């Protein structure tokens, strides 16, 4: 097979962060290859390097026999390599037809004044571009909507239009960044059919970043797997799905029964649930992020919510804590309906949220961050007692009490984020990806803290990328896939259930 695109020992460093490390791969003409990996693996960074958005720190990129390092994105597109984006980048106030015509603007090899004068040559070229746009819209099933404003299309059609515009550039090597993101099942099925047909009709070479494993496993001839900027595996879908390194990257290291330190006797099953979600639906414009979600957390229970990238985990926590409003369904806390209440009102009721990415106040001290956690409390004596307790629980924070929070290590910042949430004295603690980006020894320390919090009587709803560790720690678990709860039950049962692996890596 003829190599079309080659990456040779590509590294990308941002400050002290190595986003890509000595990455090498070859994409052959006519192939359909998927690039997958957990959050923060470096997938979109790699696309940005391949298409000239970033210049690699070291290494080389060869497209059709020529190095493209140092070229601008438009120059790389003119060579025949182009991309779509994770977040749709259409000209939403223009028509569908005009969006596709703009994709072909480099084919109009004349300048500004010639375009204004519209000589016979320029008119002929414009007609050729218009004919091309109509042909491509016909191929993608959008011809009847060519006069509509692009922003008025449904989400699936906007994604389809972005691919159409990429084809209009004349490029036949396409990098598609999460083309199925936010699509429903029917739209994803249609996209799979479209990509198959377009690849055949236009002799395309495709490299996909995609989190929908049904699409990845159903279409890909070969899969590349990134983790922390390193290529850890590549091969056929069946090989990648069973690769131990891939399973470790997606699910975390295997945990023994002894590692699961739980005190399930603290769960009082006879009491009503402290939190109940019924038929929750959340939409972001045309994107259905949560679909008829039912979930409950019982009194003094540790429940985990796991699932692949983009499944809706963070959206669910943000919905519970009032940062996102559901379009349908009901949320009850302590027997009271709370959907529609503001985040600060929910903190007063007893719900605290430690968000993904920590979100500490970097310019404030550890002491000031902790004080802000108790801002809504009026029981100052109890606040002082809780502060003393938390500093005993987090001795590293006591050592750095007057230190600026932004100077703490990643693990210390995560401890501060959790401690700040605890200063609100919650009945229910929402934890979003507390181990993200931490070294293994710090992950063990964070989970020991989570178990201690749970055993102190606080109910916990944990979202965690390290699925094995989360299941070994929780008493019950829910598995979410493309916004829907697809599996739930006792965490010990799910720990060895192959359906959990399927939710991450396809059936």
Q: How far is CA 324 from CA 64, 182, 339, 388, in A?
A: 46, 17, 9, 33
pLDDT number for residue 259: 47
Antiparallel, parallel or unpaired: β 459-463 and 428-432: parallel
- Residue of 46 and 124 predicted with greater confidence: 46
Separation CA 409–CA 308 (nearest Å): 27
pLDDT at 261 over 90: no
Q: How confident is the model at residue 347 (pLDDT cuts 50, 70, 90)?
A: very high
Region label for 354, one of left (φ > 0), alpha (ψ between -120 and 50) or beta (otherwise): beta
pLDDT at 392 over 50: yes
Q: What are phi and psi of 438, to 5 degrees?
A: -100, 150
Q: What percent of the chain has pLDDT over 70?
A: 92
Residue 194 DSSP label: H
pLDDT number for residue 359: 86
Listed in sequence order, the DSSP H helices in 104-209 are 112-117, 120-139, 155-168, 185-202
pLDDT number for residue 467: 85
The CATH fold assigned to 3-251 is Rossmann fold (3.40.50)
2-25 pLDDT per residue, tens: 899 999 999 999 877 788 999 999
Report field, pTM of the whole predicted structure over 0.85: no
pLDDT number for residue 376: 84
Report the 10 Å Cβ neighbour count for 316: 29
398-433 pLDDT per residue, tens: 888 998 988 887 788 888 999 999 999 999 999 998
Separation CA 118–CA 131 (nearest Å): 17
Q: How confident is the model at residue 263 (pLDDT cuts 50, 70, 90)?
A: very low
pLDDT at 209 over 80: yes
**What interhelical angle do 185-202 and 155-168 show, nearest 10?**
10
pLDDT number for residue 443: 79
pLDDT number for residue 16: 73
- Residue of 201 and 256 predicted with greater confidence: 201
pLDDT number for residue 230: 92
pLDDT at 115 over 60: no
Separation CA 313–CA 464 (nearest Å): 9
The pLDDT of 257-276, averaged and rounded, is 59
The domain locations on the chain are 3-251, 273-350+426-505, 369-425
Q: How confident is the model at residue 48 (pLDDT cuts 50, 70, 90)?
A: very high
Q: How many residues does the chain have?
A: 507
Same topology, domains 3-251 and 273-350+426-505? Answer is yes
Contact 119, 127 (CB under 8 A): no
One of 3.90.180.10, 3.30.70.3000, 3.30.70.1730, 3.40.50.300 is the CATH number of 273-350+426-505, namely 3.40.50.300
The pLDDT of 437-464, averaged and rounded, is 84
* Residue of 506, 507, 501 lying closest to 250 (CA atoms): 501
Q: What is the token pair recorded at 162?
A: 């972005």
pLDDT number for residue 270: 62
Q: What percent of the chain has pLDDT over 90?
A: 40
* Cβ within 8 Å of residue 415, ≥6 positions away: 394, 396, 397, 446, 449
Q: How confident is the model at residue 333 (pLDDT cuts 50, 70, 90)?
A: very high
């Amino acid at each position: 097979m003829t190599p079309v695109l080659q990456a040779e020992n590509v590294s990308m460093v941002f400050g002290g962060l190595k986003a890509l490390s000595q990455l090498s791969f070859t994409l052959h003409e006519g192939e359909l290859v998927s690039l997958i990996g957990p959050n923060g693996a470096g997938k979109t960074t790699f696309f940005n390097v391949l298409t000239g958005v970033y210049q690699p720190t070291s290494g080389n990129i060869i497209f059709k026999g020529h190095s493209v390092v140092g070229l601008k994105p438009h120059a790389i597109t003119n060579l025949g390599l182009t991309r779509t984006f994770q977040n749709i980048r259409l000209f939403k106030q223009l028509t569908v037809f005009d969006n596709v015509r703009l994709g072909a603007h480099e084919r109009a090899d004349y300048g500004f004044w010639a375009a204004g004068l519209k000589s016979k040559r320029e008119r002929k070229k414009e007609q050729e571009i218009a004919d091309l746009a109509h042909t491509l819209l016909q191929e993608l099933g959008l011809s009847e909507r060519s006069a509509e404003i692009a922003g008025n299309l449904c989400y699936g059609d906007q994604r389809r239009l972005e691919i159409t515009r990429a084809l209009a550039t004349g490029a036949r090597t396409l990098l598609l960044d999460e083309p199925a993101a936010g699509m429903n099942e029917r739209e994803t099925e249609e996209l799979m059919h479209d990509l198959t047909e377009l690849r055949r009709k236009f002799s395309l070479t495709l490299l996909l970043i995609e989190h929908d494993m049904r699409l990845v496993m159903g279409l890909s001839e070969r899969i590349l797997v990134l983790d922390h900027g390193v290529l850890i595996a590549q091969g056929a879908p069946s090989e990648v799905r069973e690769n131990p390194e891939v399973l470790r990257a997606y699910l975390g290291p295997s945990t023994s029964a002894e590692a699961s330190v739980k005190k399930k006797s603290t769960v009082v099953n006879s009491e009503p649930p402290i939190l109940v979600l019924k038929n929750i639906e959340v939409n972001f414009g045309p994107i259905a992020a949560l679909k008829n979600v039912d979930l409950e957390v019982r009194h003094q229970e540790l429940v985990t919510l796991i699932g692949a990238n983009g499944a809706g985990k963070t959206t669910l926590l943000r919905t519970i804590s009032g940062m996102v409003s559901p379009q349908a369904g009901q949320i009850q806390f302590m027997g009271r309906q709370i959907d529609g209440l503001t985040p600060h009102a929910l903190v007063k009721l007893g719900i605290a949220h430690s968000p993904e990415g920590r979100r500490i106040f970097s310019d404030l001290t550890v002491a000031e961050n902790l004080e802000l956690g108790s801002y809504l409390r009026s029981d100052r004596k109890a606040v002082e007692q809780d502060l003393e307790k938390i500093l005993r629980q987090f001795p590293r924070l006591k050592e750095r009490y007057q230190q600026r929070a932004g100077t703490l290590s990643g693990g210390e910042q995560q401890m501060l984020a959790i401690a700040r949430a605890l200063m609100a004295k919650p009945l229910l603690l929402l934890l979003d990806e507390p181990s993200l980006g931490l070294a293994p020894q710090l992950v063990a320390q964070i989970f020991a803290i989570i178990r201690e919090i749970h055993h102190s009587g606080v109910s916990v709803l944990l979202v965690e990328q390290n699925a094995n560790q989360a299941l070994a720690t929780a008493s019950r678990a829910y598995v979410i896939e493309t916004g829907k709860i697809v599996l739930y039950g006792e965490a010990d049962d799910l720990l060895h259930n192959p359906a959990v692996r399927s939710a991450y890596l396809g059936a």
